Amino acid sequence: MRFLLIGLATLMISAPVAAQMTIAMNALDLVDAKIDYAADYELVSGRQIYDGRVIHAPHRERWEFQNGSQQQVLLLRRDIDEAAMLWPEKRWFMSASFSFMASMLGGLGNEVLHGREAGVEKVGPETAIRYRVDKGAFIGDIWRSQDGILLRAKGKVTFNGQPTEGELLIYNVRREKADPSVFAKPQGWLGLPLNFGK
């Protein structure tokens, strides 16, 4: 599940796309909204369902989720080329370069997605443009709000040659300014920096 979450989160994390019939864009540029927001999310992977909260600012994301009885936090910092997994209860983290993390997922972050616009639909209260992506590390459908927020993704993410079915739903979207401190690794925690790719 963790790799699917990281894969879909990396896909989310820059320019907005105007309405058009076809797309051929870097996966990160396609879905990295240029506005701040916070939202709840649900990730379905096989028979398992995970949920949590995401906080987004351009080039920065924080994903909070439960792994068994423990809370974990994934920080994605495209702006400083860093990805970190935090274990708040243990007060420790592991970090690596964002580009290294993307390469571990089969280059998902640099992958060019090819697809076409498939209409305007509602995702909850939000109006979204639906895109059908038929070539790239992600194959399936994505729904983006008119201001660039990825509201839903359903399909297959491929990393290390292995396709994984999944669906991500973003809901209760709140367009609010993100506190920059939520994207920083806490001071005083024990850390294991993995300096691959630096």
Residues 87, 127: Cα–Cα separation, whole Å? 36
Helix (H) or strand (E) holding 5: helix 2-12
pLDDT for 191: 83
pLDDT at 9 over 90: no
pLDDT for 157: 79
pLDDT for 110: 63
Distances (CA, A) of 147 to 35, 83, 119, 126: 8, 25, 16, 11
pLDDT for 162: 76
Helix or strand or coil: residue 191? strand
- List the Cα angle 6/7/10 in 5-degree steps: 80
pLDDT at 187 over 70: yes
Chain mean pLDDT for the chain: 82
Q: What percent of the chain has pLDDT over 70?
A: 78
pLDDT for 145: 95
pTM of the predicted protein model:
0.81
The per-residue pLDDT for range 154-172, each reduced to its tens digit, is 998 776 677 788 999 999 9
Query: For the chain, what are the domain ranges?
Result: 2-16+32-112+149-194
Comparison of pLDDT for 157 and 129, the residue scoring more: 129
- Architecture category of domain 2-16+32-112+149-194 in CATH: Clam (2.50)
